[in-house]
Chains A and B, each alone.
Chain A
Amino acid sequence: MNPVNYLYLSALLFTIGAAGVLIRRNAIVLFMCVELMLNACNLAFVTFSRMHGNLDGQIIAFFTMVVAAAEVVVGLAIIVTVFRSRHSASVDDASLMKL
């Protein structure tokens, strides 16, 4: 088996995540789909790191994880705040930035 298959899997997962962002309306599920896309990118980075025989790809994947963790913290805080003021986690309802 060629490691290229990992890249195909990564592309597939990224596509599924992107389609989820377009289809779903619950803000939390939307956020999970973004996480899925980030994970797919990480898999591609790790596979490229193996194909090229150096560790730079793994470093980039590591930084992606850190940024994703920071993003999740802030994003979920925003979702909780929006839910407090509107009592809904649907992105359709939040059409205005303020009440």
Chain B
Amino acid sequence: MTLAAAASTTSTGEAVQFWILATVAVIGALGTILMRKAVHSALCLAGTMIVLAIFYLANGAYFLGVVQIVVYTGAIMMLFLFVVMLVGVTAADSLKETLKGQRWLAALCGLGFGILLCAGIGNASLKSFNGLGQANSGGNVEGLAALIFTKYVFAFEITGALLITAAVGAMVLTHRERTERALSQREQSERRVRGGKQVPPLPAPGVYARHNAVDIPGLLPDGTPSELTVSATLRGRGQVRDVSGEALADLAALEQRSARWLGRDAKGGKGAKDPKGADRREGGGGADQAGDPGDDPAGAGHPEDSKGVAK
């Protein structure tokens, strides 16, 4: 196997790979601690972990390289992302220093620690090395399995106990004990009627048949957007799109275009085209505007309004 032979001498290819990917890994690590939003930090860390998986493969640890991708980037980082979503993506770190000069002192400590580590490695005599060719000769996974189930079998058993404990611990921590009885559906509906606000379901978002996206508020009979139709989260973020003016602008553009079209046609066959064009314009404008005034007498409340539009 060429890989086993190459493991005792590092090739030029591995050196090139190392210098390129090491740069990526360090940039990812720096991004993890410097990005303000937790999501960006998590993504940077995932990149670093993938690079580390490639380094494991290059170092002859084939099993660990695959496990790194499956367990770390596949499970642990996704768990991180789940929690970031639970806790709130928009919760950016405040940059205000609570302790004066703490950040510079921390950076200084880090620098000193790094110099210490590097000096330690530099002073060790690590000029020659044995590759993994011998150890990996029977296959990397087989070698690891032989060690785990003989020399390290006790640690392996303990690991099982640790995982069970962690799973139970996570369930206990996130479990919330219910202190009062759950309300029945009848009690909930009675409470809602007694509260006197919004008894039927909330009106649907969307305007006409063209914009039914959730971030577009439905229009009230007088043409103003209704706050109730858009979710409170979008309202809070200020991501509500208002297209009530857009329809009028579209209509104006249509009228202008058809007027120009008719004007050009007036030179040729005016008698044949004119009624059709006028009819189309009339019909389009009528359909656009008919939705609101038509519902005006019937739909004083919001749900009726949206229902009328849907019809």
Interface residues on A, range: 35 or more
Q: Determine the residue in chain B with the shortest Cβ distance to A28.
A: B38
Docked-complex contact B152 and A9, CB < 8 angstroms? no
**How far is B183's CA from A49's CA once the two chains are assembled, in angstroms?**
60
**Distance between A24 CB and nearest chain B CB, rounded to angstroms:** 6
Shortest distance from the beta carbon of B206 to any chain A beta carbon, whole Å? 33
Within 8 A of B (CB), among A66-95: 66-74, 76-81, 83, 89-90, 92
Complex CA distance for A71 and B169, rounded to whole angstroms = 10
Q: Which of A2, A20, A70 contacts B129 (CB 8 A)?
A: A2
**Contact flags (1/0) for B142-163 with A, using CB distance below 8 Å?**
0110011001100100010011
Known A-B contacts A26-B93, A73-B167; the reply to A46 vs B61 at CB < 8 A is: yes
Task: Report the Cα distance A66→B165, complex, angstroms.
Answer: 13
Question: When chains A and B are docked, how far (Å) is the Cα of A65 from the Cα of B163?
Answer: 12
Q: Which residues of B are at the interface with A, using a C-beta cutoff of 8 A? A: 7, 10, 14-15, 18, 22, 25-26, 29-30, 32-33, 38, 41-42, 45, 48-49, 52, 55-56, 59-61, 63-64, 67-68, 71-72, 75-76, 79-80, 83-84, 86-87, 91, 93-94, 98, 102-103, 106-107, 109-111, 113-114, 117-118, 121, 126-127, 129-136, 140, 143-144, 147-148, 151-152, 155, 159, 162-163, 165-167, 169-170, 173-174
Bound together, the chains give a CA A17 to CA B109 distance in angstroms of 12
In the bound complex, do residue A65 and residue B10 qualify as a contact, i.e. CB atoms below 8 Å apart? no
Q: Are B132 and A8 in contact (CB under 8 A)?
A: no
CA–CA, A16 and B106, complex, Å = 11
Q: Is the CB of A33 within 8 A of B33?
A: yes
The CA of A89 and the CA of B22, in the complex, are separated in Å by 31
- In the bound complex, how far is the Cα of B64 from the Cα of A54, in angstroms? 14
Report the nearest B residue to A1, measured CB to CB.
B15
Contact B106 A49 (CB under 8 A): no
In the complex, the answer to whether A53 meets B135 with C-beta atoms within 8 Å is: yes
Q: A72-B79, A80-B173 are in contact. List 13 more A-B contacts (CB 8 A).
A: A9-B18, A13-B29, A19-B107, A26-B93, A32-B45, A55-B135, A55-B147, A59-B144, A65-B72, A67-B159, A69-B71, A69-B163, A74-B166
Nearest A residue to B58, CB-CB: A6
B-chain residues with CB within 8 Å of residue A71 when the two chains form the complex: 166
Interface pair A76/B79, CB less than 8 Å apart? yes
Let me know if A20 and B118 touch, CB within 8 A.
no
Also in contact, A28 and B118, with CB within 8 A (given A33-B32, A36-B48, A89-B87) = no
Query: Across the interface, do A16 and B61 meet the contact criterion of CB distance under 8 Å?
Result: no
Contact B132 A50, beta carbon cutoff 8 Å = yes
19 A–B contacts, CB within 8 A, in A order: A6-B55, A8-B118, A13-B25, A23-B103, A24-B33, A32-B38, A32-B80, A43-B56, A49-B61, A51-B126, A52-B129, A52-B130, A55-B132, A56-B147, A62-B67, A62-B144, A80-B173, A83-B86, A90-B94
